[in-house]
Structure 1
Amino acid sequence: MWLVRSALRYPYLVLVLALAVVSLGSIFLTRIPSDLLPIFRTPAVQIVTFYNGMPPEVVEGDISSRMQRWTGQSVGISHQEAKSMTGVSIVKDFFREDISMESAMSQVTSYAMSDLFYLPPGTIPPMVMPFDPTASVPLCLVSVSSETMSEQELYDVAYFELRNRLQSIRGVIAPAVYGGVLRRIFAYLDREELEARQLSPMDVVRAIQEQNVFIPTGNAKLGDLDYMITTNAMVDEISELNDLLIKIEDGKPVFLRDVARAENTQSIQTNVVRINGRRQVYIPIYRQPGANTIEIVNEIRTKLTQIRQRVVDMYEGADDVLLEVVMDQSIFVRNSISALEHEGLIGAFLAGLIVLLFIGSVRSMLIILLSLPLSALAAFIGLYLSGNTINSMTLGGLALAVGLIVDQAIVTLENISRHLSMGKTPVRAAYDGASEVAGPIFVATITIMVVFFPVVLLSGISKFLFTPLAISVILAMGASYLVALTIVPLCCARFLKAKPGADSATGEHEPAFFRVIGRNYAALLERVLQRKMLVGISTLIFFLISLGLVPGIPWSSVPTKIGQELFPATDSGQFTIFVRAPSGTRIEATERLIESVENEIQDVIGQWDPRDEMATSDLQMLISNIGVLMDWPAAYTPNTGPMDTFMLVQLKENRSRSSIEYSILLRERLVDRFPGIEFAFDTGGILTAALNFGLPSPIDIQVTGSKLEVGQEIARTISDEVRQVDGAVDVRVAQRLDYPSIHIVIDRVKAAYLGITPEEIVKNIITATNSSVTFNPSFWIDKKKRNHYFIGAQYPEGEINSFATLENIPIRPRSGDSTEPVLLRNIATFERTTGPTVVNHVNITRVTNIYSNVVGRDVGSVVSDIEQR
C-alpha cells in the first residue's frame, strides 16, 4: 500500500510529522477550554426590561407580550419564553441551529430597540444579551464580607469595585449583586408637619428636583478668555438638602428641614443574603459560551488580591474586608475531568499490560502504546480546530476509543510479526505485514466512523451532548489508522529483528496456557457448529428476553425494565433547597423562618465550623438568598418575591453521606417541622441544571391557556394526581395567584373638582410608600468615591405600617400654594384583592408550570406513570 511504502521510504518525514503532532497537540491541549459539558451552540437571546413597581399582569401585557411579538419577527426563531414579575420583564428568544449567534443578537437588538417607542412612558430601554440555557448555575460566587462594614458599604464594594473589575476577565459574566442594601439619600417626610404647612409629599419632591439640578452649564467666551461655567446648583453635602426652600408662607420661608430630614440612608430592603448565618453580599459568576471554566476561577482568585487592596484604600474601615470565592463549581469540573483522565490512563496501562502478556515483548508493547498518545494528541488538535472543548463527553469518547486504537496497532504489529517469523527482513516484513491488513483495518475504521457519524446529525439536547463524543471518537480512529500504517510499521522495521520459526515478535514459542485456551476454544466451536439449530433458537430467545427489558416494548411481560435517564445521577457534593412561605410574607418574617430552617439543616448535617476542625460535620457552606431585588438580580434568580428563598448547601469533600441522602433526610424533617411552607430540592448541581436547561426540576408539566384562574385550577388537579405517583416528590405549582394587593379606586370626579389629577395622586402615593426615586430620581455624587447615588423623598420606613398611613397621605393640586391638602381617603377607596407573583409565557401563550423531582426511581418510569394517569 502506498501509505506504508511512503512511511518506510521517508522515515524522517514521518518522524517530523509525528513530532509536529506532539508539539501542536501539546500546545493546543493547554489552550483548549475545559468544562464539564460541551458548548451549547443553539443561539438564544435574552431581553430584560425594567419598569419599577409595575404589577406582573401589566408588565405581561404592556411589555413582555409586545416584546415577544416584536422580536418574534426575527428570522430563524424557533420558540419564545417569557417571565413577567413586578417591574421586570424577561423574554428569551431561541433560534434554529443554522442561525449564528451574531445574526440572532443583531436581529433581536434591532427589533427590541425599535419597539421602545411603543412601550409605556418611563420604561427603561431593554438590555439584550446572549443567553446560554445550559449555564444557568454560576461557576462560583464571589462573596464580600466584613465585621465592621455595613450592608450598604458591602453592596457598594461589590457593585462599584468588584463587579466591574471582574467583568474584565476573559469569559466572565458578573451581572448582578445579591444581598446588601442600596445607598440612597432620602428626605424622610414628617406627615404631621406636611399637613400643618399645607404641603404634600410631591411638594418636597419638586423642591428637590428644582433646587438640586444636574445640568452641565458649558462655557462662556468673555473677553480674550474662554471660561468654564460651574454653579452650586447641585448640593455638595447631604446636609445642604435640609436648607432647600420648599415655599414662602406668610412671608416666611419653609425649608426642607421644617417638614423632613435629609439622611444618608438606604432603600427599602427586598433581598437578603446569609452566608453561614451572617448577612453578606455576593456576585454570581457565569461564563460566556466556550470560556474555560478552570481558567476563569483561577484568574478570579488572582485578581481578588488586587481588588481588595483598592477597596482598603478607598473605603474607611475596610481593613478587615474579605473577598472570597465560594461555592466553586470548578472543583466539580476539575474532579470530573481528572477522573476521566485517570480512567483513560488506567485503560492505557491495562491495554499495555495485556499486550505484554499476550505478545511477550517489551518493544512490541511500547510500539503499540506509542499509538495512544499520538492518536489522542491528533484528536485534541482536531477538537481545538473544530471549536470543541475538553469536557466529560470528549474525554469519554477518547476513553471509549482507547481499546479501538490499540486494536489497529495490535493487528498491524501481529501480522508484521508473522512475516518476521517467515524469515523476512524487518523492512520487508513491515511492508508486507502492514500492506496485507491495510484494507481490513480501513474497513473496520470506516465502519466505526459510520456508526458514530449519524450522531453528528442529531438535534437538540442529544446533539449538544453526544456530537462532541462522536467527533472525538472519529478523530481518534482516523488518527489511529494513520499511526497503524505509518508509525507502527516504521518502528517495527527499525526495532524488531527477524527470528525464523518464532511464533511472535520475540521469537519465543507460544506459552502453554495460550495453547490450552486455543484447544478449548476449537473444541467449543466444533460443538457449536454441530448444533446450529439449538444455538440459533437459544440466541433468538435470549435476544427477545433482553429486548423485553427495553422500555417501550408493550408486549413484554417482564415486570422490571431498564430505567430511562438522560444522564446518570451524580453526587455533586451540594444541593439547593427552594423554600416558599405564604404569598406576601414580609422579608423580615421570611428571614426569621430561614434562620430556623438553617438551624434544622445544621442539626442534620452538622454545625458549620469556620476552622473546619469538626470531624462530625459534613457542612462546608450554607448560603441563603431571600427575596429579590426587582432589578438586574431578578433575571438570575428563581425567587419571585419576599416570600421566596433558595438555599445553597455545600458539603465537604470527605463526607459521610451523599448529597442525595442528605436531601432525603432533610425533605422529611423540614416538611414535618414547618407545616404550610413549601420545600423543593435540587441535588444535581451544575450538571443537572445544564441538562434541564435551567429548570429547577427534571419534570415540567405545562398547562396553557389565557385565563390564569382556570390554568391554576387545572394545575392543582394535575399536581394532586402527580403526588400519587411513586417516586414523584417536591410536586408544586410554580405560579401563585394569591399575592395580597391593595387596589386604590380614585374618584376622578371628586378629584377633578378639587383640581387634583390621577397622576398627582399616584405620585404622592409612590413617594410616601416607595420613594420618589421610583419615578423621578435626583442625583448626588459622592466626591470622595466618585460614585453617584439617587436622592428622593419618602415616609420613614418604620411609619409605613398600617392602612391609616396609606389613607392619610396628603394630596393637593400641583398649582396653588394656598390650597389645603386633601387626604387620600377622601378622594379614593381601597379594595383588598389578590394577584399573581409571576406570569409565564411560551410562544406568547400563558403557561402554568407543575414541577416534580424524582427520588428512588428513574425519570422515564415516573414520566410514563404520570402520562398513564
Structure 2
Amino acid sequence: MNLSAPFIRRPVATLLLSLAILLLGGVSFGLLPVAPLPQMDFPTITVQASLPGASPQIMASSVATPLERSLGTIAGISQMNSRSSQGSTRIMIQFDLDRDINAAAREVQAAINASRELLPSGMRSMPTYAKVNPSQAPIMVLSLTSEVLDKGQLYDVASTILAQKLAQVSGVGEVQIGGSSLPAVRVALEPRLLDQYGIALDEVRQSISAANAKRPKGAVEDAERHWQVQASDQLEKAADYLPLIIRYQDGAAVRLGDVATVTDGVEDRYNSGFFNDEQAVLLVINRQTGANIIETIAGIREQLPALRAVIPASIELQVAMDRSPVITATLHEAEQTLLIAVVLVILVVFAFLGRWRAALIPALAVPVSLVGTFAVMYLLDFSLNNLSLMALIIATGLVVDDAIVVLENISRHIEAGETPMAAAFKGAREVGFTLLAMNLSLVAVFISILFMGGIVERLFREFSITLAVAIVISLLVSLTLTPMLCARWLKAETSEHRPSAMQRWGGAVQTRVLAFYARGLDWALKHSLLMLFSLLATIALNIFLFVSVPKTFMPQQDTGQLIGFIRGDDGLSFQVMQPKMEIYRRAVLADPAVDSVAGFIGGSGGINNAFMIVRLKPVTERKISSQAVISRLRETVPKVPGGRMFLMPDQDLQIGGREGRSSENEYMLLSGDLDALRKWLPPVREALRALPELTDIDAKEVEGTQQIRLVVDRDVAKRLGVDMNMITAVLNNAFSQRQISTIYDSLNQYSVVMEINPQFAQYPETLDQIQLITAEGARVPLSSFARWERSLEEDRVSHQGQFAVENIGFALAEGVSLDQATQAINNAIARVGLPTEVQGMLGGTGGAFQQTQQNQPWMILLALVVVYIVLGVLYESYIHPLTILSTLPSAGVGALLALQLMSIEFSLISLLGLFLLIGIVKKNAILMIDLALQLERQQHLSPQESIRQACLLRFRPIMMTTLAAILGALPLMFSSAEGAEMRQPLGITIVGGLVLSQLLTLYTTPVIYLYFDRLRHRVNRWRGVRTDAALETPL
C-alpha cells in the first residue's frame, strides 16, 4: 500500500492542504501567550489570621494549631507550613499537583468555619484564605516617591487609586502594596498624665470608640418632602480628637489632648520601603494564570500616563522592576536560534545532493511542520516559552529527517535512471514503513514523559507534546507534500546534463567517504568480538559517567535580577535595624553591575527582616553573570554587626513555598518536641557551617528573643477584682498598636491606633505605671498584683505538618554542584547523630532534586521499555528492537563526556537531552535494519550481505539526518545571550551524544544485527520454527 500515491497524483489539493496548515499555524502564533517557562500551577492556598499584640507562642498554640488540625483533615494535602510571628499567623497549604484548586478552596473555607469555636474570642475577624501560585514571580514592581507627601499618604494613593486601576488591566492578577501602611490617627498616651488624672487605658479606648461612630440614622419626611438625617458623628483628623472629653473631674473636662499626643500617622510604624536612595511605597504586580507576560506588562505601561494623571503631581511613579526586557530578549534569541537551525539543516541537504531544487523541498516541508505545530499549541493552551521554543529548535533537525529520507531515496532512484514521477511513487513506498517506525518510536519517548507525574511531567509537558506534534505533522508532510514536490520539481538525469562544480566536488567527497566506510565496515564485520566488546564497554562507561557527573536540579538562570534578604539579630528594634539596612542598600547600589534596588523592611516579614529586589544591568553591559555579581558582593559588602545579607539569583522556576526563605536550598529539622528541636539546632547549624561546600548559612543564631514576662499573683488579682482577660486587654491597649476605631471615607477606611507613648514603651518599668479598671470602677495598678522579669522566647514559631520546624538556608560554594553538597550534608548530619525524635531533610530545590534524582533511572528505563514495545509491535519481533536499542549506550557516553568537558552540570534539561537521544539515535539503526530485512525478503540475500548493503545504501541518508540533527542543536550549544543557561545543556547533550554515536553505531549495529540473527536462528531451530526472512514482514 502506498499512502503517498493519492497526494502525488493531486498536487493542487496537496498544496492547498499545506497552505491551510500554514495559515492556521500563522494565526495561532499571534495568539499564543508568552512566558519564560510553561505554566506551573502548584495548587496552593494561604490562610492568614491576625490577633494584634499576641506573642508568637500564643499565635502558634491558640491560632495556628487549631487551624492546622482542622485543615489537616482535607484530602490531597502534600505539605502544610505555618509561620507565627507577633500578632500574625500565616499557613501555606500545598496540594497534590492534580488537585482542583477551587474544590480545595471550598474545603479550606469549611475547615476555617469548623475551627471557629477553637479560636481566641478576641480576634477581630475570622481567618481568611487566598489562592496563590508560589512558583509565579512578580512581573513588575512600581515605586511611589515624593518630596512632599509622607509614606502614609503615598500608601493611601497606592491602595485607594493605583491598586484598583492596575487590577483592571488585562492579565493583571494580585497587586500587593509594601513599604508602609494606611494613614491612621495615632493616639500616644502619657502614662504619667493618666496616673495623675486617675484614668485607665480602657477608659480612653471606650471614650474614643463611643465618640467616633458611623451608623445609619434614618430619615424624616412629611407629606411633600423627605430628609435624610446626617450627624457630625465621625472625627477624621488628629486635630479633631484633641478636644475629645474623656471624663469630667472636679467639674473640669479632661480632654484627650491632656493625656495623649495625637498625630496623623500610619497604622504600622514598623514598616518602611525604598527605591534606590529614596523612601518609597512599592506596588508588586503579579499576572493572572495563563496571561501573556509581555502583553500584560505592555498594558500596564500604556496605563502609566493615565495613572500619573490621576495621582497628585508631587508623586513620582516609576518602574522599579520589569521582567519583560529579559524575557523578550530570551525569546528573541530562541527565535533567532530557530531560524539559524532551519538554515543550517537546509544547507546540509544542498551539500549532500548538490541541487538547489532538492534543497528547496525540505525548505518548504520544515516550515509547514513547525508552523502547523502552533495551531495545536494554541488549542492546548500552551505558551511560547523557553522550553516550547527549544522543542521547536530541536524539531527542526528531526522533522527535516523525514523529508531527507524521502528525498534521498527518490533522488537515488532518479540517479539510477528512473523518471521523477516513477521514482516518487517507488521511493515513497519503500520508506513508508521506515518513516512510521522512526516517528512512532520517537513520539513514544516523549509520550512516556507524560506518565512520570510530579514536577518533571508538569515542567516538560509542553516540551514533549510540542515536539511530538511537530513530529506527527512532519510524518504526514513527508508522506504527502515531500513526494509530490519531488515528482514535480526534481529533474531526471540526462546524458547531456553536466554536473556543476559543486556537484562534482560533493560527489567525489561522498564517494571517497563511502569507500572509507566500506573498508571500515568490512573490518568491523571481521572483528565482531571487538565490536561487541566496545558495546559492553560503553554500557559500563555509561554507568560510571552517570554516577560521577556533577548534578543539579535545573541550570542556574541569569534573569537579570537578584533577590536579597537582610536578617537582623533576634531582638533588634526597628530603629536599630533601619541603619543596618541602609548600609547594605548603599553597598549593593554601588556595585557597577547593579541598575536599581527596591525593597522594604518590617511589615509581615518582621521588624528585624528586610527584603530587596536588585535589578542588574543588561548582560551585555555588565559582562559577568548574576552569580558572579553575588560572589563579588559577598566580598565588597561590609560586615555589619548584628546583621547578615543573603543574595540569590531570581529564578523563573520557584520550588517550595516557605515565606521569607533566603535561599533556594534549605535543610529542615522537624520534631514534635520543641525542646529537642531547640537543643539539636545549634550542632546541626555549626556542622553545616563547617562544610566548605556550603556558604551563606542562614539559621537562627540565638535561642530566643529578649522578652518581658509578666508574673501574675492570681490570688491577689482575684481579691482586687482583676482577671486575666482584663490584664491582657490593658496590655493590648498599651503596647500593641491597637486599632480601636474606624474612620470611614468615600474611598477607603482608616483606623485610630492607640498605644502608650513610644518613649515610655522603651523601658520595662513602664509596666508599673499601667492601671486597670475593675468591675466596680476601682483603678488598680498592675504593679499591685504582678511583677515582670526578663526572659528569652521565640520570636517566631514555624510548623510543618503540625510538627515544629527550623529551617537552615544555604547556598552552594563556587564550583560545587548540588549533588556534591547533598552528599556532604548527609555525611555531616550522620556525624552529628540526630535522635529519633528529630528528623532532618532537604527542602526547597534540594528536596526536589533529591526526589527527581532517585527517579531518573526509572524514567530512562520507562522510556526504553515504551520504545521497545512500540518497535516490537511494528517489527513483530522480540530481537530487532534490541538491535535498534543497542545504539543508545554510545550516545549516553558521548552526552555525559560532553557535559563534563564543557563543565556543565547534569540537570533536568540534560535528562531531557538523553530522552531526545533515545529517540534520535535509533533512527540510524532503523534505516539500516529496515532495508536489510527488505533485501533478505526480496532478494534472498544472506544476513551478512543484506546488512552490509543496507549500511552502504543508507550511509548517505544516515549522514544527512545525523548532521541535520547536530546542526539543529549546534546553535543551542553555542548560545551565549539571554536564556543561554537553559539552552546550552540541551545542545551539548545532543551534539555530544550524536557525534560519538555516529562514530560507533555505524560499525557496531551491523555486528549486533548479525549476532542477534544467529541467536534467533538457534532459538527457532530449538523450537522447531521456520526462520525464513519472508515470514518476518513488519506491520
Aligned pairs (5 A) from 1:563-578 = 563-578=550-565
2:763 pairs, out of 802, 805, 808, with 802
Distance 1:233 1:121, change over 3 A: same
Please state how far the C-alpha of 1:236 moved relative to its aligned partner.
5.6
- Aligned partners of 1:504 and 1:59: how far apart in 2? 87
Q: Does 1:706 align with 2:664?
A: no
Aligned residue type for 1:663: I
Q: Is the 8 A contact 1:418 1:505 kept in 2?
A: no
- Aligned partners of 2:503 and 2:188: how far apart in 1? 98
Deviations 1:726-781 (A, max 9, x none): 321112325864122112233344334434443333333222333431xxx31224
Q: Is the 8 A contact 2:267 2:751 kept in 1?
A: no
Matching residue of 2:743:
780
Q: Is the 8 A contact 2:55 2:86 kept in 1?
A: yes
Aligned pairs (5 A) from 1:180-579 = 180-220=180-220, 222-223=222-223, 225-235=225-235, 238-312=238-312, 319-500=313-494, 511-551=507-547, 561-579=548-566
Distance 1:396 1:114, change over 3 A: same
Q: Is the 8 A contact 1:47 1:90 kept in 2?
A: yes
1:857 pairs, out of 806, 816, 824, with 816
Question: Which structure 1 segments of 5+ residues have no match?
Answer: 313-318, 552-560, 606-616
- Aligned partners of 2:103 and 2:500: how far apart in 1? 60
Please state how far the C-alpha of 1:220 moved relative to its aligned partner.
4.3
- Aligned partners of 1:734 and 1:336: how far apart in 2? 39
Matching residue of 2:152:
152
Matching residue of 1:828:
786
Q: Is the 8 A contact 1:359 1:504 kept in 2?
A: no
Moved more, 264-273 or 478-487: 264-273
Q: Is the 8 A contact 1:379 1:472 kept in 2?
A: yes
Distance 1:267 1:99, change over 3 A: closer
Deviations 1:140-198 (A, max 9, x none): 21111122221111111222112222222233233431113431113333333322322
What SS is found at the alignment partner of 1:134?
Answer: coil
Moved more, 47-56 or 763-772: 763-772
Please state how far the C-alpha of 1:425 moved relative to its aligned partner.
4.4
Q: Is the 8 A contact 2:584 2:645 kept in 1?
A: no
Q: Is the 8 A contact 2:179 2:599 kept in 1?
A: no
Give me the TM-score of the superposition, normalised by structure 1.
Answer: 0.89
- Aligned partners of 2:191 and 2:692: how far apart in 1? 59
Q: Is the 8 A contact 1:33 1:389 kept in 2?
A: yes
Aligned residue type for 2:511: R
- Aligned partners of 2:701 and 2:373: how far apart in 1? 48
Aligned residue type for 1:839: V
Matching residue of 2:93:
93
Q: Is the 8 A contact 1:496 1:505 kept in 2?
A: no
Distance 1:838 1:32, change over 3 A: farther
Matching residue of 1:166:
166
- Aligned partners of 2:196 and 2:41: how far apart in 1? 65
Q: Identify, as 1 or 2, the structure richer in helix.
A: 2
What SS is found at the alignment partner of 1:550?
Answer: helix
Q: Does 1:758 align with 2:752?
A: no
Distance 1:496 1:158, change over 3 A: same
Please state how far the C-alpha of 1:287 moved relative to its aligned partner.
2.5
- After superposition, the CA RMSD in angstroms is 2.7
User: How many residues were matched structurally?
Assistant: 821
Aligned residue type for 1:394: S
2:597 pairs, out of 604, 613, 622, with 622
Distance 1:12 1:85, change over 3 A: farther
Deviations 1:373-430 (A, max 9, x none): 2212222222222222222221222222211111101111122223334554444433
What SS is found at the alignment partner of 2:311?
Answer: helix
Question: Which structure 2 segments of 5+ residues have no match?
Answer: 829-1035
- Aligned partners of 1:623 and 1:815: how far apart in 2? 54
Q: Does 1:738 align with 2:704?
A: yes
Q: Is the 8 A contact 1:185 1:792 kept in 2?
A: yes
Deviations 1:345-369 (A, max 9, x none): 2111111112222122222222202
- Aligned partners of 1:424 and 1:218: how far apart in 2? 100
Matching residue of 1:613:
none
What SS is found at the alignment partner of 1:383?
Answer: helix
Aligned residue type for 2:768: E
Moved more, 826-835 or 717-726: 717-726
Distance 1:388 1:209, change over 3 A: same
Please state how far the C-alpha of 1:692 moved relative to its aligned partner.
8.4
Matching residue of 1:588:
575
Please state how far the C-alpha of 1:448 moved relative to its aligned partner.
0.6
Please state how far the C-alpha of 1:257 moved relative to its aligned partner.
3.2
Deviations 1:568-587 (A, max 9, x none): 22333332332222111112
Moved more, 479-488 or 535-544: 535-544
Q: Is the 8 A contact 2:180 2:266 kept in 1?
A: no
What SS is found at the alignment partner of 2:652?
Answer: helix
2:632 pairs, out of 640, 665, 682, with 665
Moved more, 211-220 or 238-247: 238-247
Give me the TM-score of the superposition, normalised by structure 2.
Answer: 0.75
Distance 1:531 1:483, change over 3 A: same
Please state how far the C-alpha of 1:228 moved relative to its aligned partner.
2.4
- Aligned partners of 2:409 and 2:573: how far apart in 1? 79
Matching residue of 1:554:
none
Identity between Structure 1 and Structure 2 (%): 26
Moved more, 288-297 or 277-286: 288-297
Distance 1:851 1:507, change over 3 A: closer
Deviations 1:53-82 (A, max 9, x none): 222222222222222222233333333222
Aligned residue type for 1:36: P
Distance 1:197 1:291, change over 3 A: same
What SS is found at the alignment partner of 1:274?
Answer: strand
Q: Is the 8 A contact 2:320 2:598 kept in 1?
A: no
Deviations 1:537-557 (A, max 9, x none): 244334423431222xxxxxx
Aligned pairs (5 A) from 1:671-682 = 673-682=639-648
Aligned residue type for 1:371: A
Please state how far the C-alpha of 1:478 moved relative to its aligned partner.
0.6
- Aligned partners of 1:794 and 1:547: how far apart in 2? 68
Please state how far the C-alpha of 1:474 moved relative to its aligned partner.
0.7
Moved more, 728-737 or 833-842: 728-737
Distance 1:500 1:730, change over 3 A: same
Matching residue of 1:43:
43
Aligned residue type for 2:186: F
Q: Is the 8 A contact 1:735 1:849 kept in 2?
A: no
Please state how far the C-alpha of 1:562 moved relative to its aligned partner.
0.8
Deviations 1:327-356 (A, max 9, x none): 223333223222222222211111111222
- Aligned partners of 2:140 and 2:474: how far apart in 1? 39
Q: Does 1:598 align with 2:585?
A: yes
Please state how far the C-alpha of 1:444 moved relative to its aligned partner.
0.2
